[in-house]
Amino acid sequence: MAASTHGRQDSRVVSRQIIRQITLFQRQLIQQLHQWQRPSLRCVATLGIAAGAGLVLSSPAEAASLGRYSFDDSNQPLVANPVATGLDLGEFRYIGDDSPRLVSDAQGGQAYGARNWSRQGFDSNAYFEFTATPDDAFSLSLQNLSFDEQSGSSGPQSWEVRSSLDNYSSAIASTNVPRSAQFRANQLVALPNEFSNLQEPVSFRFYGYNSRRVSGSWNIDNLQVTGELQARVQEIPQPPVSQPNPIPQPNPVPQPNPVSQPSPVSQPSPVPGPTPTAPSTPSPQPSPFPGSTPSPQSTEIPEASPLTAIGLVGGLVLLRRRLQRSQKRSG
């Protein structure tokens, strides 16, 4: 019974060591896949690792509309619809001294507006705002914002767009508004490279100021967010490997006192003979393959092709799961 228990414990130790080696080998393969520069190979590697690990990811998409605020739904809060999978566009809201309202736009729908904009220059306390948040499995690259706006004859003469990346300290875009009651369509805000590969939320604020009158309104409509979402490969966290408890050793059996032996009878001195010679050291055998030399084992992996590496990752994941299930059954 004790031998069987010890055998199971030894088997668990060996299984844990194999799982640890599999995990290290898998991480090296993933690092090698990340070093490839061709986008098509990165896409294949991403999908291959995801399939082996049981994840569902999307391949990188071309720059396109990620979401749109049309303000045609009167229900609060005002959210974007539609929105790309993997992205959350939060409520579009107004911060300031007025109560925002929905007004009629030029297409027979609705726009979102407010009054009481500053008459004395830029005011950081009055703005429209929304936040874009990528899901954990994606990174977000934004290219531009576009929207329709209307200031009217007595509304703000200037507006700016700022973001949370620099704590709203500088304008991404700014313009002077001509005096007109018409909606100005497709006001484009091009976003710099700092808005690429975002993994945290980013907020945008739209400031109106230099209003001709306090009662002047500023309205925004058809706000569209353009960019792309890219799937991120996430390493699967591994549970810590617990060390087995040491096996208690039995107490040593006391040995009896040795019995005294009689003194040995002296023997005559041996006749000197010839000096023995040391056996000759055998010469090293040639390798069965010309030019090959034995090398120690190493955990470094050779350069692999994309498809080979992807297949190895998937196979290692399956092997690790089988070993873990076998451990649970034996436990």
Domain with residues 64-231, CATH architecture? Sandwich (2.60)
pLDDT at 22 over 80: no
- pLDDT tens digit string along 273-289? 555 555 555 555 554 44
- pLDDT tens digit string along 175-208? 998 877 789 999 999 999 999 999 999 999 999 9
* Predicted pLDDT of residue 124: 95
pLDDT at 271 over 50: yes
22 contact partners, CB below 8 Å, separation of at least 6: 316, 319, 320, 323
Cβ burial of 3 (10 Å; 0-12, 13-18, 19+) is exposed
- pLDDT tens digit string along 91-112? 999 999 998 989 888 777 899 9
**What is the arithmetic mean of pLDDT over 65-73?**
91
* Predicted pLDDT of residue 44: 38
305 contact partners, CB below 8 Å, separation of at least 6: none
68 contact partners, CB below 8 Å, separation of at least 6: 80, 81, 82, 222, 223, 224, 225
Identity of the residue numbered 224:
Q
| Mean predicted lDDT score pLDDT of the chain | 75
**Top-confidence residue, 36 or 328:** 328
- pLDDT tens digit string along 35-56? 544 443 444 334 343 333 333 3
Res. 245 pLDDT band, cuts 50 70 90 = confident
Which range has the top average pLDDT, 32-36, 183-187, 255-259?
Answer: 183-187
